[in-house]
Structure 1
């Protein structure tokens, strides 16, 4: 089904100020839909939202607020045809350090969205944004990488993964009872310009490596860089999510959004070194909750959504490096000062 069918519809997007949410709303506008946006706008300095994510805080359809607060979602969802629930505390390390914050954002916030959607007759479908972190670790075949299918048992290793698994079950329970169509989109490793790293985080490896490389800092391979990731460019993530919003076959389905290609962190480092040839690579300890990973089985995605990602990892990393070279001010000051002393 063509995404143009979204033209003229009203779509509530939670977490609309972030990398993914801002891409979703931009694409919705290009299609001719009207996104209604909500985000706390507290993860970065405000200039990051304006300068890099292109968020206009004076837009009448952009609302700064916390979806976990009573009444917030109910006040925005009236008249909406669709909902993309992308708001979350998505930093694995931050969720581990602050589990109560993760519960508020990812559990209570999700419950508020589901309750509001269940009570709104105009809503045709809700997409709950989940994560490959719900899979945890699986044994790979000899000499290969683990492939994650949607029917695999959920074995999250982190607070973040656990909250996403809960959100999946609760989406099915609440919206199934209300008779509202839903789809669960399990994102694999999202990357792409203008992703901005966060201090004390080990997520978003492409952005971390490129920003460190731009400052002449070594690239750290946690656990030797043997972990495997299915890296999906944010443009493909946004397009896949919108297909999940409207594809008839996605009704009440759980769908991986991935490329079906596994890339080790060491291979990511080598692709970054093509853009920054003088950079060195160091082995460092593996952080807690960091899964060995694998890649998405994309069979159901192709069948249900009738779509596949189109941006390769090599192309996406080259695009990010080119953006960073043209936008060096995107590198956070805490990474620069003093650059040589940063971990």
Structure 2
């Protein structure tokens, strides 16, 4: 018996995927190709070095790949005008990077989003626009020092430039596309992890990748604020599936949807899962970072109803998959991380800047 693919209607559809060479974007691209979609990947290839793009399975020479920037208005108008769907995943995406380079962050995350949205609003060909926002828009929520259960109806309270830009992008999407009658869906991914994720300096939130690599190198696993922060960790394959379904699901029309598992996991529990594969790994306390949200987990009731789906990969399964991939791909561990020493002291210094 053949199971109907919920994305079957995308067979032959023309899809513009911005940021399609990143961790999530590359998985979206792979999933869309499975159903026969005609995907154009737009990326400026600034997020990683060539070796990381290779690990993500990105072929920069492919006819489907356009090396360009969302700030190139002429290019965007041309690509959008040839598209049935637009998925906007491109972003300058680390909190530390946005704080250090606000001009670059503005050009990518706000000006670039505006250019994409205006192009979408001005064409009749686009059936739905999907904006990839972030759970960071919730900030610390409304519970003081308590971890939160985030629902889409909660007020947003971003704590950093990256989250503020995402909140603005959500508002701009609703205001601009509602006015023109263009369909849209906004998704708020929680903590995405999975095979292919390579840590960046100062990107403190990529805990599964960082802890796995630290453990493999015999380095300590730093627990920020004692490891009590809560996160909702969703595997990248599940995140990509949810985003793809948001393109076509009738219930996702003009909705804001959390994209998470609905399961709360502390950083300490994540470390323990990694220690299950590396019993010799040790943990150490690290200071809390001021722009890092206290954390929480997603209400997924609206997402499940809209998409007719819930994530399938448990955190234990996802950690095992990541470590197996890392062990099979030791070159994935970046050289800067291999050389890093006195990590907790370094983090304290960064926090004092």
TM-score band, normalised by shorter chain? over 0.9
Equivalent position of 2:47 in the other structure: 43
Deviates more, 1:254-263 or 1:203-212: 203-212
Equivalent position of 1:4 in the other structure: 8
Equivalent position of 2:65 in the other structure: 62
- Measured against aligned partners, the alpha-carbon deviations of 1:260-316 in whole angstroms (never above 9, x if no partner) come to 001011111111111111011011111121011110000101111111000001110
Equivalent position of 2:308 in the other structure: 306
Q: Secondary structure of 1:54's match?
A: coil
- When the two structures are aligned, how many residues end up with a matched partner? 340
1:1-343 aligned within 5 A: 2-50=6-54, 52-139=55-142, 145-337=147-339, 339-340=340-341, 343=346
Shift of 1:74: 1.1
Partners of 1:279 and 1:110 in 2: how far apart?
42
Dislocated runs of 4+, deviation >4 Å: 139-142, 339-343
Shift of 1:245: 0.6
Shift of 1:240: 0.2
- Measured against aligned partners, the alpha-carbon deviations of 1:126-182 in whole angstroms (never above 9, x if no partner) come to 00001110001135599x842100000001111111110000000001111111000
TM-score, L = length of structure 1: 0.96
* Structure 1 vs Structure 2 CA RMSD: 1.5
Partners of 2:144 and 2:104 in 1: how far apart?
37
Partners of 1:340 and 1:303 in 2: how far apart?
47
Contact 2:141 2:154 (8 Å CA) reproduced: no
Unaligned ranges ≥5, structure 2: 347-353
Shift of 1:119: 1.5
Partners of 2:140 and 2:218 in 1: how far apart?
33
Contact 2:141 2:156 (8 Å CA) reproduced: no
Q: Secondary structure of 1:275's match?
A: coil
TM-score, L = length of structure 2: 0.93
Partners of 1:128 and 1:31 in 2: how far apart?
21
Q: Secondary structure of 1:42's match?
A: coil
Unaligned ranges ≥5, structure 1: none
Q: Secondary structure of 1:71's match?
A: helix
Shift of 1:116: 1.1
Contact 1:302 1:308 (8 Å CA) reproduced: yes
Partners of 1:216 and 1:140 in 2: how far apart?
37
